[in-house]
Amino acid sequence: MRVDLRLIASLIEPGSRVLDIGSGDGTLIEHLFRTRGCDARGLEIDMAEVTHSVAHGLPVMQGDADNDLTQYPDGAFDYVVLTRTLQAVERPREVLKQMLRIGTRALVSFPNFGHWQVRWQLMRTGRMPVTATWSRAWYETPNIHPCTILDFRELCAQEGYAVEQWLAIDEAGRKSPWRRSLTLANMFGEQALFLMRRA
Amino acid sequence: MPQHAYSATAMDTTPSLPEVEHQQAHFPEGLTLECGQALECFALAYRTYGALNAARSNAILICHALTGDQYVAEPQPVTGKPGWWDTLVGPGLTIDTNRFFVICSNVLGGCMGSTGPRSTRPDGSIWGTDFPPITMRDMVRAQEMLVRRLGIERLFAVVGGSMGGMQVLEWAASFPQKVFAAVPIATAAYHSAQNIAFNEVSRQAIFADPDFAGGRYWAQGKIPARGLAVARMMAHITYLSEEALTRKFGRKTRAVGTDAEAASFFGEVFEVESYLRHQGSSFVRRFDANSYLTVTRAMDWFDLAAEHDGNLSAAFAGTKTRFCLVSFTSDWLFPTAQSRSIARALNRAAANVSFVEIDTDRGHDAFLLDEPDFHRTLAGFLSGCAEHAGIS
């Protein structure tokens, strides 16, 4: 299992109701069901992944973050998870709002555009940065809403979400040692993981 | 006089509906229908496959479509053709009868042994057109009585496609505590205007046949074979897709009749025509016209949301049933959008729902055919549910 998914799973209380948005092949929901006794469900845009998941006995429906979250009732889940997808949705602010309407807590991971390599490449070459995390050329990237850790933190404050935990993580999803300072995390964290709650 | 190749008799319309003994359960307690009329007593014809386990927890009810019947996984005794889902239901198959106890009953209003327009009334006369209007809910309530009769408190799953899917939805809405898992396939929560329109054309074709005799054809020893065949031909087009028809037939033709006829404008038929004629003529041998009218009308009246002030999710409020909705890309009779709107209504009710659209060019009929992705999906969903239900 991907290291970042393992990290996310460790932040979820056993027995919770979980919605994984962009559940892919269903690894996380299967892990949450098998090892933590969660009622975990998936929402996935790619029909081949949906078919694969359902054929493995996992409750997944085809749909996407921008259009399908509005369908769920308030407080339907204890956790709503969105991994490495926020930067690719059409309306990130609305998606976060929906996540914290239908769930008590939201777990969001996203690639950090404030990472020093990104900054350095842009400054040095004057071209759009291409790194391990931001790997696609500007004209074909699905990542239409990149943000930095500081940007995300500010949006949470603006929207009144309580950040219960945050972590900077490296490309593989391992925790990195920038726990104390958001500024340092924003410089050296390749990705970020936030656990938020409705304030 | 030689028959013109395009005349009525180009279609084989041999009027024969062989009488076969069907396995039945009788319900002398009767059933009060939604229309307010009471059936004093009625029978449901049914078949079962596999064995009920000691906990009586492994029963799967299969609901058949408009012209289907209870012979899911064995040769149909009237036509001799293989069971309509025998590639899906059986030992070691997707719905594994080594593991599950499978039940399928002919719907109320049907003509394969269940009480319907072709049955005799308590006074010995034939129901015919006096048979009361039946609804999806009536069909399901009758099935529920059968399930109880078989000693089953809760079904592990209810599975069905097309009209069968409507029954699955009705089951989940009417008896939520009795349905652990529900699989509505290629279906809708209400019959669309377009589908009602198609049904109406089918019915008008039957009415237009002089042999229909105002529905009393049975009294004259006739059947409205022409009308019924046309109804079936028209309906059959809606079960396919343009792509599938093109792939199968394209514009291929074949010569028919004598040399003299071959010189005429209709001397050759397109293969798609002869295929449809075959579909029409084989259908009239096994299906009763009044039953066709009754059951198509039941589909037309189906609107699950209407029973809940137009709010479909209210029909599923608080449901614990696990749902798996399946649609097919080229199905234009029950398009994916209809399944998606059911999935969304279930989301609004916070239900546990899986939703898969299978990529195929075979149209609505795909649910009856060998579609590996569909079969894999269904098998996976059922085994996942079996794990949650504690069925070994």
Tens of pLDDT along B36-83? Answer: 999 999 999 999 999 999 999 999 999 999 999 999 999 999 989 999
The span from the CA of B277 to the CA of B60, in Å, is 36
- Tell me the pLDDT tens digit for each residue of A81-96: 999 999 999 999 999 9
Distance from CA of B355 to the nearest CA of A (A): 4
- The domains of chain A are located at 3-112+146-198
pLDDT band at A179 (very low <50, low <70, confident <90, very high): confident
* Residue B12 CB burial class (10 angstroms; 0-12, 13-18, ≥19): middle
Contact at CB, A56 and B356, closer than 8 angstroms: no
From B96, B209, B300, B331, the catalytic residue:
B331
B380 and B364 housed in the same domain: yes
Last residue of a domain, one of B297, B324, B347: B297
B320 and B251 within one domain: no
In Å, how far from its chain's centre is CA B59? 20
Residue A34: what pLDDT?
A: 94
pLDDT over 50 at B5, yes or no: no
**Quick check: B26 and B244 in contact, CB under 8 A?**
no
What ipTM does the predicted assembly reach?
Answer: 0.89
CA distance linking residue A8 with residue A163, whole number of Å = 15
- pLDDT of residue B155 exceeding 70: yes
pLDDT given at position B262: 64
Last residue of a domain, one of B297, B321, B338: B297
- Determine the Cα–Cα distance for residues A178 and A164; give it in Å rounded to an integer: 16
Tell me the helices (H) and strands (E) count for chain A, helix number first.
8, 7
Residue-level pLDDT at B373 = 96
Q: Which residue of A has its CA nearest to B324?
A: A59
Q: Are residues B106 and B64 in the same domain?
A: yes
- The total of structural domains in chain B comes to 2
Q: What is the DSSP letter of B132?
A: P
Q: What is the mean pLDDT of residues B288-306?
A: 97
Question: Which region, left, alpha or beta, applies to residue B180 given φ > 0 means left and ψ of -120 to 50 means alpha?
Answer: alpha
Is B3 within the bounds of a domain?
Answer: no
Residues 6+ apart with CB under 8 A from A142: A88, A136
Interchain proximity B376–A55, CB inside 8 Å: yes
Beta-carbon count within 10 A of B214 CB: 9
Domain-ending residue, one of B263, B297, B331? B297
Residue B381: which of A54, A62, A63 has the nearest Cβ?
A: A54
CA atoms within 13 A on the CB side of B336: 14
pLDDT value of position A199: 79
Q: What is the pLDDT of residue B104?
A: 98
Percent of chain B exceeding pLDDT 90 equals 88
Is residue B170 exposed (0-12), middle (13-18) or buried (19+ Cβ within 10 Å)?
A: buried
Reported confidence tier of residue B260, pLDDT bands at 50, 70, 90: low
Phi, psi of B327 (to 5 degrees): -130, 170
Per the structure block, which two tokens stand in for A75? 């407080």
Question: Are both B30 and B128 inside the same structural domain?
Answer: yes
Q: Using CA atoms, how far apart are residues A7 and A30, in angstroms rounded to an integer?
A: 15
pLDDT of residue A175: 76
Assigned domain for B117 exists: yes
B162 is catalytic: yes
Do the domain assignments include residue B1? no
Give the confidence band of B285 by pLDDT, cuts at 50, 70, 90. confident
Residues B39 and B72 in one domain: yes
Percent of chain A with pLDDT over 70: 99
Between CA A54 and CA A56 the distance in angstroms is 5
Copy the structure tokens of residue A66. Answer: 């921008």
CATH of the domain at B258: 1.10.1740.110
Question: Does a structural domain hold residue B2?
Answer: no
Mean pLDDT score of chain B: 93
Burial of B274 (0-12, 13-18, 19+ CB in 10 A): middle
On whether both B116 and B248 belong to a single domain, the answer is no
Q: Are residues B312 and B286 in the same domain?
A: no
pLDDT at B175 > cutoff 90: yes
Q: What is the per-residue pLDDT for B122?
A: 85
DSSP code of residue B121: P
Q: How far is B302 from chain A (nearest CA, A)?
A: 24
Q: Would you call B61 helix, strand, or coil by DSSP?
A: strand
pLDDT number for residue A174: 75
Residues A142-162 pLDDT 10s? 999 999 999 999 999 999 999
How far apart CA B212 and CA B280 sit, in angstroms, is 16
B233 and B359 in a common domain: no
Q: Are residues B173 and B321 in the same domain?
A: yes
Question: Any CB–CB contact under 8 A between A93 and chain B?
Answer: no
State residue B263's pLDDT score.
Answer: 64
Catalytic residue status for B331: yes
> What's the pLDDT score for residue B330?
97
Q: Tell me phi and psi for residue B206, to 5 degrees.
A: -70, -45
Here the CATH number for the domain that contains residue B145 is 3.40.50.1820
Task: List the domain range (segments joined by +) for residue B163.
Answer: 24-192+305-389
Q: Is A71 on the interface with B (CB under 8 A)?
A: yes
Q: What is the pLDDT of residues B187-237, one digit of tens each?
A: 999 999 999 999 999 999 999 999 999 999 999 999 999 999 999 999 999
pLDDT at B68: 97
**Averaged pLDDT, A168-196:** 86
pLDDT over threshold 50, residue B157? yes
Task: Judge contact between A45 and A67, C-beta under 8 A.
Answer: no
Say yes or no: B175 and B200 in one domain: no
Does residue B127 sit within a domain?
Answer: yes
Query: Tens digits of per-residue pLDDT, B121-151?
Result: 989 999 999 999 999 999 999 999 999 999 9
Round to whole Å and give the CA distance between B167 and B302. Answer: 10
Angstroms from B140 CA to nearest CA on chain A: 26
pLDDT at B277 (0 to 100): 94
CATH superfamily, domain at A3-112+146-198:
Vaccinia Virus protein VP39 (3.40.50.150)
Instruction: Work out the number of other CB atoms within 10 angstroms of the CB of residue A75.
Output: 13
Catalytic residue among B162, B241, B281, B327: B162
